[in-house]
């Protein structure tokens, strides 16, 4: 197993905590009890007003509670110094995550309930949306990072190369799937649901022995091994995460599948060869919408005339940038597309979309499993990294549950083929060979 050999570096690198300190997020500011001015109270009410007066209160650093909603607060948000309050007003979407991570903003009560309430409030909060749009387009504050080949490698290293042992602590123990599971039965374990997802993908692709498969963004190799072991496919998997590639190769060799599965440490744009099947699970979010036609060109170049493909991606119902804090601290360069935007991959070369499925609630359930396992490992993670890292990941996972629960995020699986390919199924019976459709 490939272990993380950069632990000391990773104590700060994953969330740029040195940059946080330099940017006013450090915990060395004066957070001792101080007087609260009339302006501070007005700013706190203004902050709640930006969120359309949600069902929670703000508790200032002198323990004074500000509440603008007429309902009993679900939670209380403690702001520990005036500078934190000012930063929240300047850009709440970006600064809340950083301030929460370093402990200068705390949530008293259930974090998930708070984040769901925030998402719901934002739906009726035009002042916040206007502020966010103005910051993005006038001051370039919240725009995503680039995804050219060198940028993509840096972005992937930032998130995925922080240590395989970290991810092993809370992902499923069989295939290390860091993508949405599939729960045909809600009571399934995470391992069962991830195995069901792998089969669901393979059935949608109608894999058969001898199929040549190219995978873009293979993660730790779980899908590639599954396709080879259970469906007899020959797989070439491209990935730019060095640690994932090393892990995938080791696991595949140990399983005796290395003659049928090859892992290539390279960008999807450099895929070579011709294949019966193209598959990408959880990579499109990192491609960037300005590169969708480029991805389409790659698929066109490598897919045989009777070829078929599947893209599995987080998405949205309308075009919108990723949350500024998530994009800056967790997934640099990430952008979840709408279905309309995904069509830029297919239209230029006249690929036909055969099937679209939305697994939104499946992802919310997957994230709940991840969060529960992450919390079990929190003490160990804090020793490896630090407390800010733990709080940041807790916020990221909990916020993602909230986003999928309220419909702010979707999970699309899109099956496609060449436009002239008539070798396509007449029904969806091949997807449900057992009682999964009940």
Give the closest residue to 46 by CA, choosing from 37, 63, 36, 58. Answer: 58
d(CA 52, CA 41): 17
Residue 290 has pLDDT above 60, yes or no: yes
Q: What pLDDT was estimated at residue 172?
A: 98
CB atoms under 10 Å from CB of 188, counted, come to 17
In angstroms, the first-to-last Cα distance of the chain is 39
- How confident is the model over 274-278, as a mean pLDDT? 99
d(CA 162, CA 408): 28
Q: What pLDDT was estimated at residue 24?
A: 44
Residues 377, 290 share a domain: yes
Residues 290, 197 share a domain: yes
| Per-residue confidence band for 153, with pLDDT thresholds at 50, 70 and 90 | low
- Please indicate, yes or no, if residue 15 is contained in any of the structural domains: no
- 111, 139, 167 — which closes off a domain? 139
- How confident is the model over 82-103, as a mean pLDDT? 94
Please give the DSSP secondary-structure letter assigned to residue 330: I
- Please indicate, yes or no, if residue 8 is contained in any of the structural domains: no
Q: How far is CA 401 from CA 116, 183, 211, 300, 423, in A?
A: 9, 16, 36, 35, 39
Residue 155 has pLDDT above 80, yes or no: no
Residues 421, 363 share a domain: yes
- How confident is the model over 283-309, as a mean pLDDT? 96
- Please indicate, yes or no, if residue 14 is contained in any of the structural domains: no
Q: Where are the beta strands (DSSP E) in 217-350?
A: 234-239, 261-265, 275-281, 303-315
| Per-residue confidence band for 321, with pLDDT thresholds at 50, 70 and 90 | confident
CB atoms under 10 Å from CB of 46, counted, come to 14
- Please indicate, yes or no, if residue 118 is contained in any of the structural domains: yes
Lowest-confidence pick of 70-74, 242-246, 262-266, 403-407: 70-74
Give per-residue pLDDT as tens, 308-319: 999 999 999 999
d(CA 342, CA 330): 23
Residues 228, 302 share a domain: yes
Q: Which domain holds residue 378?
A: 149-431
Q: What pLDDT was estimated at residue 88?
A: 94
Give per-residue pLDDT as tens, 225-243: 999 999 999 999 999 999 9
Q: How many domains does the chain have?
A: 2
CATH number at residue 359: 3.40.50.150
Give per-residue pLDDT as tens, 199-214: 999 999 999 999 999 9
d(CA 416, CA 434): 24
CATH number at residue 105: 3.30.1050
Name which residue leads in pLDDT, 323 or 110: 110
Q: How far is CA 188 from CA 171, 185, 376, 405, in A?
A: 15, 6, 20, 19
Write down the H helix ranges in 51-204: 82-90, 92-101, 111-122, 126-139, 149-160, 164-168, 190-204
Residues 290, 219 share a domain: yes
| Per-residue confidence band for 262, with pLDDT thresholds at 50, 70 and 90 | very high
Give per-residue pLDDT as tens, 343-363: 999 999 999 999 999 999 999
Residue 170 has pLDDT above 70, yes or no: yes
- Contact in structure between 6 and 168 (CB atoms under 8 Å): no
Q: What pLDDT was estimated at residue 51?
A: 84
- How confident is the model over 25-47, as a mean pLDDT? 76
d(CA 246, CA 353): 34
Half-sphere exposure at residue 34, Cβ-oriented, CA atoms within 13 angstroms: 14
- Contact in structure between 73 and 67 (CB atoms under 8 Å): yes
User: Residues with Cβ < 8 Å from 313, sequence gap 6 or more?
Assistant: 280, 282, 283, 284, 285, 336, 337, 342, 411, 412, 414
- Please indicate, yes or no, if residue 437 is contained in any of the structural domains: no
Cα three-residue angle 337-340-344, rounded to 5 degrees:
85
- How confident is the model over 69-81, as a mean pLDDT? 92
Residues 165, 238 share a domain: yes
| Per-residue confidence band for 32, with pLDDT thresholds at 50, 70 and 90 | low
Residues 184, 121 share a domain: no
- How confident is the model over 87-99, as a mean pLDDT? 93
Residues 158, 131 share a domain: no
User: Residues with Cβ < 8 Å from 75, sequence gap 6 or more?
Assistant: 56, 107, 108, 109, 110, 111, 113, 114, 117
Residues 118, 192 share a domain: no
Residues 110, 173 share a domain: no
CA 152 to chain centroid, in Å, comes to 15
Residue found under tokens 């209380």: 76
Give the closest residue to 307 by CA, choosing from 429, 420, 412. Answer: 420
| Percent residues over pLDDT 70 in the chain | 84
Q: What pLDDT was estimated at residue 58?
A: 97
- Please indicate, yes or no, if residue 19 is contained in any of the structural domains: no
Residue 331 has pLDDT above 70, yes or no: yes
- What SS3 string covers 192-217? HHHHHHHHHHHHHCCCCCCCEEEEEC
- Please indicate, yes or no, if residue 3 is contained in any of the structural domains: no
Residues 196, 305 share a domain: yes
The b/e string for 308-323 (b: 16+ C-beta within 10 A; e otherwise) is: bbbbbbbbbeeeebbb
- Please indicate, yes or no, if residue 6 is contained in any of the structural domains: no
Q: What pLDDT was estimated at residue 121?
A: 84
- 87, 116, 139 — which closes off a domain? 139
Residue 19 has pLDDT above 50, yes or no: no
- 99, 118, 139 — which closes off a domain? 139
Residues 317, 192 share a domain: yes
What mean pLDDT, rounded, does the chain reach?
88
Q: What pLDDT was estimated at residue 21?
A: 39
- How confident is the model over 326-330, as a mean pLDDT? 90
Q: Are strands 351-358 and 303-315 parallel, antiparallel or unpaired?
A: unpaired
């Amino acid at each position: 197993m490939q272990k993380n050999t950069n632990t000391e570096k990773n104590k700060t690198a994953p969330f740029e905590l040195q940059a946080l300190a330099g940017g006013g997020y450090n915990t060395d500011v004066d957070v001792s009890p101080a007087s609260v001015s009339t302006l501070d109270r007005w700013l706190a009410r203004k902050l709640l007003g930006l969120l359309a007066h949600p069902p929670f209160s703000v508790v200032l650093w002198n323990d004074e509670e500000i509440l603008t909603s007429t309902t009993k607060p679900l939670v209380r948000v403690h702001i520990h110094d005036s500078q934190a309050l000012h930063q929240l007003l300047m850009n709440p979407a970006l600064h809340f995550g950083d301030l929460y991570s370093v402990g200068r903003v705390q949530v008293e009560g259930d974090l998930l309930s708070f984040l769901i309430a925030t998402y719901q409030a934002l739906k009726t909060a035009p002042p916040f949306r206007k502020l966010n749009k103005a910051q993005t387009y006038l001051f370039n504050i919240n725009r995503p990072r680039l995804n050219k080949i060198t940028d993509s490698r840096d972005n992937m290293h930032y998130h995925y190369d922080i240590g395989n042992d970290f991810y092993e602590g809370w992902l499923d123990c069989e295939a290390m799937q860091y993508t949405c599971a599939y729960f045909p039965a809600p009571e399934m374990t995470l391992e069962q649901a991830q195995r069901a997802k792998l089969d669901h993908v393979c059935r949608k692709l109608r894999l058969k022995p001898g199929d040549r498969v190219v995978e873009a963004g293979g993660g730790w190799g779980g899908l590639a091994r599954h396709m080879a072991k259970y469906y007899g496919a020959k797989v070439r998997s491209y990935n730019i995460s060095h640690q994932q590639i090393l892990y995938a190769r080791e696991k595949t060799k140990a399983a005796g599948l290395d003659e049928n599965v090859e892992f290539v440490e390279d960008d999807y744009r450099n895929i070579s060869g011709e294949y019966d099947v193209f598959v990408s699970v959880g990579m499109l979010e990192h491609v960037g919408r300005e590169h969708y036609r480029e991805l389409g060109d790659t698929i066109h170049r490598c897919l045989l005339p009777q070829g078929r493909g599947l893209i599995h991606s987080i998405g949205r119902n309308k075009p919108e940038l990723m949350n500024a804090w998530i994009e800056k601290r967790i997934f640099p360069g990430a952008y979840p597309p709408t279905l309309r935007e995904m069509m830029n991959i297919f239209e230029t070369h006249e690929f036909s979309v055969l099937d679209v499925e939305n697994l939104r609630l499946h992802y919310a359930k997957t994230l709940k499993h991840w969060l529960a396992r992450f919390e079990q490992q929190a003490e160990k993670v804090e020793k490896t990294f630090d407390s800010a890292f733990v709080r940041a990941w807790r916020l990221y996972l909990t916020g993602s549950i909230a986003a999928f629960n309220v419909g702010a995020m979707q999970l699309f699986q899109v099956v496609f083929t060449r436009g002239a390919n008539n070798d396509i199924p007449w029904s969806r019976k091949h997807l449900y060979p057992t009682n999964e459709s009940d």
